[in-house]
Structure 1
């Protein structure tokens, strides 16, 4: 297995809870991924689509229909909320922009089902080397692989959060790999982080399948929730603007967010997560994203 990270980079990762690796992918590799991402968007057929929009907590609700819940072993399209007109009792929602420009994200099994993204995830020696260098997971399993588009002028806010809330294991183990396919700037929605917050933040809620069987919901972890800090208003946030080809590693407990894209430029990225698959770490049936018998979460190191 390749050794990819220098000791100073590992030290920064442990200190900050995130790490930017510029030029991790060569320009020709980035172009291949970006071209494939744009091809997928161009091939999107709105005919028969349930008009499922990806909503965040900032919108007051979260996506949760069957199209979303059953996407773990498929490639599906989720719309920007502002790309559609509101649905009424007499009028279904309609697109306000061309279909290829309406997409918030495409997921959630690209790393398994799409040959291009599989090559840069499960079949990539440098990614395997990263997982080995971090040394935090004995058997890293890949899940939630997706393109996030951050469309011009309508790409929405991603509020302050940490990833283990959405991909919960006991004990928490999520690590995100976030790849810039285009330059990411403060004007088109780059990430911001609160360095070191992973050392203090505990998982205060979980994003789960609603026990009623209808969609998704958040459930509090009471002993943590009552002592939760207001991370969004703390000092010390740092913008993580970066060039295309940068790999950003994201600890599952570090607080991060991104602003809306009010620019006329896209902000395409590809991202996937790793969780511990070794015995002793539990990924339970409450989580919104579930493996299937036909497609369990694949092991990165096999």
Structure 2
């Protein structure tokens, strides 16, 4: 795992970091967020958790799709499907009893908040700003001095028109934080050909005890996107897994199912314990997972995804996450 912070002037990635990412499919950038930014984002998270009302909430729980992540029990109600341009709250599966009542206080019952924090929450939106220095003293509108700024990272990774989508806080609550089975992010945010990269920020320390990420290094080069989560045809509600009939890898000779045997693919998952403030980049084809949190310590993180919006890439209209008619995903480049 690469643990050297970037030292370039434009907030991007060093050559060594790029090499590590292309080889392994993930990269840890420690100290990507300064402590002041971590504190501001945690404050905003707690404000959101304290402020939402249960009075009209449909008590939607987030499901990861079964033990292997490929089942049909993913959440798919209207509250979820219309969240691409809103801030909504989804509960842990074990936080709601058979009668629909919470078994924990609401701030300890939420699995995630999503999926438009980068558009509607000023503190989270500030991470996408391109300026390297603060230009505002108004609370909630700061532009943090980031290492590895998203636009610069996307440029370093070769994006020509990067678009941000599916931003969310994931809480991984104490004692009930659910496991996430092995999966690939491009299954859920499919472009033809695949292009998704996850930006995953630890706002609290992520450890083996509280359910840190684990990665299968190099699997992005040989693990195809075989299935996709889509909206059920002709229905306002519901999602399903379908066979992917489009490209299964990004373009490039480095990708292909034959790479698994030729390069000794497979192997063991590598745990990704990280400190608060770290950024983890995750290739859309990379197999990764996290275990259940049975500890007494939660694990709050913030994540969003970037896809290529440039020529030759198409965001599929069947994907579960869609913006309202006439709106587009947030551009990282001006």
With normalisation by structure 1, the TM-score equals: 0.92
Partner of residue 201, structure 2: 179
CA contact (8 A) 1:139 1:301 kept: yes
User: Which residue of 41, 50, 72 maps to 2:49?
Assistant: 41
What displacement does 1:293 show?
3.2
Q: State which of 190, 198, 203 in structure 1 corresponds to 2:225.
A: 203
Q: CA deviation at 1:45?
A: 1.4
Please state if 1:266 is matched with 2:298: yes
Matches within 5 A, 1:213-292: 213=235, 214-221=237-244, 234-292=266-324
Q: Secondary structure at the match of 2:83?
A: coil
Over residues 35-76 of structure 1, what are the superposed CA-to-partner deviations in whole Å (9 max), with x where a residue is unaligned? 111111111211110010000112651100000000011000
Question: TM-score, normalising length from structure 2?
Answer: 0.83
After TM superposition, give the deviation of residue 122 of structure 1 in Å.
4.5
Q: Distance in 2 between matches of 1:34 and 1:67?
A: 24
Divergent runs of 4+, >4 A: 122-125
* Gap regions ≥5 residues in structure 2: 1-8, 133-148, 249-256, 261-265
How do 1:1-302 residues align onto structure 2 when only pairs under 5 Å count? 2-58=10-66, 61-86=73-98, 92-123=99-130, 125=132, 126-135=149-158, 137-213=159-235, 214-221=237-244, 234-293=266-325, 295-302=327-334
Deviation of 1:295 (Å): 3.5
- For the 8 Å contact 1:50–1:67, the answer to whether it is kept is yes
Question: Secondary structure of 1:198's partner?
Answer: helix
In the alignment, the residues of structure 1 paired with residue 35 and residue 270 of structure 2 have an alpha-carbon distance, to the nearest angstrom, of: 26
User: Matches of 2:220 and 2:331 in 1, distance apart?
Assistant: 25
Deviations 1:98-131 (A, max 9, x none): 1111100001000011000000134565221111
Find the residue that maps to 1:72 and give its secondary structure.
helix
Task: Tell me by how many angstroms 1:216 deviates.
Answer: 0.3
Residue by residue, what CA displacement relative to the aligned partner does 1:110-161 show, whole Å, maximum 9, x if unpaired? 00110000001345652211111111x1100000001000000000000100
What secondary structure, in the 3-state scheme, does the structure 2 residue paired with 1:40 have? helix
Residue 267 of structure 1: SS of its match in structure 2? coil
Q: Secondary structure at the match of 2:314?
A: coil
Secondary structure class of the residue paired with 1:289: coil
The 1-side partners of 2:172 and 2:313 are apart by 33
Q: CA RMSD in A?
A: 2.0
Matches of 2:12 and 2:244, distance apart in 1: 37
- Alpha-carbon displacement from aligned partner over 1:226-268 (angstroms, at most 9, x marks no partner): x899xxxx53210000000000000000000000111111100
- Distance verdict in 2 for CA 1:3–1:98, change over 3 Å: closer
- What is the alpha-carbon distance in structure 1 between the residues aligned to residue 84 and residue 46 of structure 2? 21
- Partners of 1:178 and 1:170 lie apart in 2 by 23
Aligned length: 291
- Decide which moves more: 34-43 or 165-174: 34-43
